[in-house]
Structures are given as C-alpha cells and as structure tokens.
Structure 1
Amino acid sequence: MDQTLGVHETLDMHEILMFKNICLTKSATMSAIAQDPALKELLGQNAKQAKQDIEQLMSLLGREEK
C-alpha cells in the first residue's frame, strides 16, 4: 500500500505546523509574563507539547518531501 500523502494532506500538515508554531510562541511568551504559578506551569507544559508536536510534524513532512 502506498504510504505517501496527497497534496491536500501535505498542505493541511503545513497549516497545522504553522498553527502549532503560533501556539508555541504564544505559550512561551505568556509563560514569561504570567504571575500565577499554576498558569505558568500549564503554559510551560503546553509549550513542551507544542515542541514535540512540531518535531513530529516536521519529521513526517521531511519523509514526504524526499
């Protein structure tokens, strides 16, 4: 079975990647200025997860572009 993505799927993944980058930027920025420790922790966890998601998406896209 063919494991390559279609053009529309690749474009969707690029859109998700852009969204995740924006989420990471916002979480990192807000974490730096947040004063509530619980909120700071939540934003830090969100940023960590966003980084992992971005790495995974980039890995998948890298395989498709070869």
Structure 2
Amino acid sequence: MAKELALHEKLEVHEILTLKTSCATKARAMVEFVQDEKLKALIEQDLVNSSKAIEELKSILQ
C-alpha cells in the first residue's frame, strides 16, 4: 500500500477479518449437513468468495 493505515483503520480491518473468518468457519462446518443441492452450491461459492476476501484483508494488515 502507498500509505500506512491509521490505528483505527487497522482495528476496523481486523474486526472485519475476524467476522469474515468466523462466518466462513461456520459455513464450512454446516455445508456437510445441507441436503439441498442449490443451497449447498451457494454455500460452497460463498466459501470461495470468503477465502478470497480473507486473503485480501490479511494482505491489507501486513
């Protein structure tokens, strides 16, 4: 990044990262119990998107 983030900005990004990680963990655990194929596909796509978002957030904090 061109500029360094302020402390409050880093804390906000960390808070979003924590929430996103928690949601992805829950989705990963629950996908095994889903029987509807359309819903399962949506959850799996959300897991892919969440993984990308988590990596992006981690890169912001580094």
Report the TM-score when normalising by structure 2. 0.92
SS at match of 1:49: helix
Greater RCO (CA < 8 Å, at least 6 residues apart): 2
Unmatched tracts of structure 2, length 5 or more: none
Aligned partner letter, 1:26:
K
Query: How many pairs are equivalent?
Result: 61
The 5 Å alignment of 1:14-53 reads 14-53=14-53
Give the Å deviation of 1:61.
Answer: 0.5
SS at match of 1:40: helix
* Structure 1 runs (4+) greater than 6 angstroms displaced: none
Aligned partner letter, 1:12:
E
Residue matched to 2:11: 11
Q: Cα RMSD over matched residues?
A: 1.0
Unmatched tracts of structure 1, length 5 or more: none
Partners in 1 of 2:29 and 2:41 — Cα distance? 13
